[in-house]
Amino acid sequence: MNKRELESILKKALPPEISSESLEMFPRRLVARLKHNDSPNRAVRNASLRLAWAFGLAACVVIVFTASHWRGRMEAEAIPAKDCLASIKLVREMVAMFPNQVCAIVEDDHGLHLVLSDKDDVPASPPLYVRICDGKHCSSFVTFSGQEIQVAGQQVTVLSDSQGGIILEGNRFVWSSDGENYAEKNLKIEAKTLGATL
């Protein structure tokens, strides 16, 4: 068999006929998928967005770190009037970036870090801001009702009711926003909702 004969045989070989139904449905299925979750250059845009967020977070950590040094350790118990986590914008954008995956955004002595669920199974609910100081260290985090967060060396369960009341349950305390508290004296706790469901 020479080269021409081989090419002739190869070119005579046709792939299986695709049914007209499949030809019709294929673009439709694709369009449906695109309408649902894709947009041109999503990958590129996501990369840029993540980069921007990385810079944003890094800046936030630097500000927090600088501010905490400037204030000195004696002021550690004081709850800052404004910190990164109290910004609803930051929380909203984090949740938009990882929909139904954000368990918590924690800020402690090591900086800011994000706690994500492996699956997108975190129900949408109003974000809750919590700050716990134990006399030496302070940790604050934003989370959602029903989440269990490892913070300040203990597991904290955060719950909220439909009236906006918040209950925190840790290994060494039970704290409620309506004033029913059982906690060690040196624990100082603050909690509030950060607005409506994101």
Partner 1 sequence: MAHMAGSDDESKLIEQSLSGDPEAYGALVNQHQKMIRAIAFRMTGSLDDAEELAQDAFLRAYQQLAVFNGSSKFSTWLCRIAINLSLDWRRRESRRDEIYSKWAADAVSENHPDVGFPDELSRRVQVALDLLPVKQRAAVVLTIYENQSHAEAAKNLGCTEATISWRVFAARQKLKRFLKDLAHEQA
Q: What is the 3-state secondary structure (H, E, C) of 65-102?
A: HHHHHHHCHHHHHCCCCCCHHHCHHHHHHHHHHCCCCE
Residue 56: DSSP 8-state: H
Give least dist CB 198 to partner 1, A: 24
Residue 105, classed as helix, strand or coil, is strand
Give least dist CB 3 to partner 1, A: 7
17 near partner 1 (CB under 8 A): yes
Between residues 9 and 58, which has the closer beta carbon with respect to partner 1?
9
Backbone phi and psi for residue 41, each to the nearest 5 degrees, phi listed first: 65, 25
Q: Rounded distance, CA 102 to CA 197, Å?
A: 13
Between residues 43 and 81, which has the closer beta carbon with respect to partner 1?
43
Between residues 38 and 75, which has the closer beta carbon with respect to partner 1?
38
Give least dist CB 100 to partner 1, A: 22
Give the number of residues written for the chain.
198
**Residue range at the interface with partner 1 (CB under 8 A); choices 6-14, 81-89, 98-106, 147-155:** 6-14
Between residues 38 and 109, which has the closer beta carbon with respect to partner 1?
38
Using alpha carbons, list the distances in angstroms from residue 92 to 14, 33, 139, 167. 53, 25, 20, 22
**DSSP for 9-30?**
HHHH--PPPPPHHHHHHHHHHH
18 near partner 1 (CB under 8 A): yes
Residue numbers 25-54 binding partner 1 by CB under 8 A: 26-31, 33-35, 38-44
1 near partner 1 (CB under 8 A): yes
CB 151 within 8 A of CB 100: no
Between residues 43 and 74, which has the closer beta carbon with respect to partner 1?
43
21 near partner 1 (CB under 8 A): no
14 near partner 1 (CB under 8 A): yes
Contact footprint for partner 1 (CB under 8 A): 1, 3, 5-7, 9-18, 22-23, 26-31, 33-35, 38-44
